[in-house]
């Protein structure tokens, strides 16, 4: 019994930290430890006596498993029926027709800009660049007057 307590005390920090690096996860429980095999999902109840540990598999009830499978199959059928009735999606069994793959036309009329519109745009951009350059030149002149000021 002392060995069991010592083993649990030594292993408790790893359990508390939630370290999950190995194949098995051990969780302390009343009267022993539950071991979960991460690869298979099998669970075992392990107990230690006089320093010797033994584990017994925890079988799931076959009836419980069958009920769960039935529930999932019913849910799957209901979701498939709902998807078939949905106006947003075509039925899953029919691939879209080739004509359906053409994207729709954009909404509204987008007029092609005239040459005058393009000239106005370039004038605007040119003015912005000019102002930006003037501002940089001014900052450089001020920096030359007062060399201690960082740019």
The pLDDT, as a whole number, for residue 10 is 46
Give the pLDDT confidence of 126-141 residue by residue, as tens digits: 999 999 999 999 999 9
* Angle at alpha carbon of residue 86, lines to 84 and 89, rounded to 5°: 85
Give the pLDDT confidence of 50-78 residue by residue, as tens digits: 888 899 988 776 777 788 889 999 999 99
Token pair of 15 as six digits: 């359990």
User: Where along the chain do its domains lie?
Assistant: 2-58, 64-89, 114-151
Q: Please tell me whether the overall predicted TM-score, pTM, comes out greater than 0.95 for this model.
A: no
Give the pLDDT confidence of 86-126 residue by residue, as tens digits: 776 555 566 666 666 777 777 777 788 899 999 999 999 99
Phi and psi torsions of 119, nearest 5°? -60, -40
The pLDDT, as a whole number, for residue 84 is 84
User: Which residue, chain included where needed, has tokens 């509204």?
Assistant: 108
CA distances from 65 to 40, 59, 60, 62, 127 (A): 16, 11, 7, 5, 75
d(CA 49, CA 3): 8
């Amino acid at each position: 019994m002392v060995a069991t307590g010592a083993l649990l005390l030594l292993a408790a920090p790893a359990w508390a930290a939630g370290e999950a690096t190995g194949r098995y996860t051990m969780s302390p429980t009343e009267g022993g430890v539950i071991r979960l095999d991460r690869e298979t999902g099998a669970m075992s109840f392990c107990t230690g006596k006089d320093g010797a540990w033994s584990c017994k598999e925890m079988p799931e009830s076959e009836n419980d498993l069958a009920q769960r499978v039935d529930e999932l199959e019913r849910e799957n059928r209901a979701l498939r029926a709902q998807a078939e009735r949905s106006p947003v999606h075509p039925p899953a069994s029919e691939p879209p027709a080739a004509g359906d793959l053409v994207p729709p036309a954009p909404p509204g009329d987008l007029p092609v800009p005239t040459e005058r519109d393009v000239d106005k745009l370039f004038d605007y951009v040119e003015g912005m660049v000019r102002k930006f350059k003037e501002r940089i030149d001014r900052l450089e002149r001020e920096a030359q007057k007062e060399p201690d000021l960082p740019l």
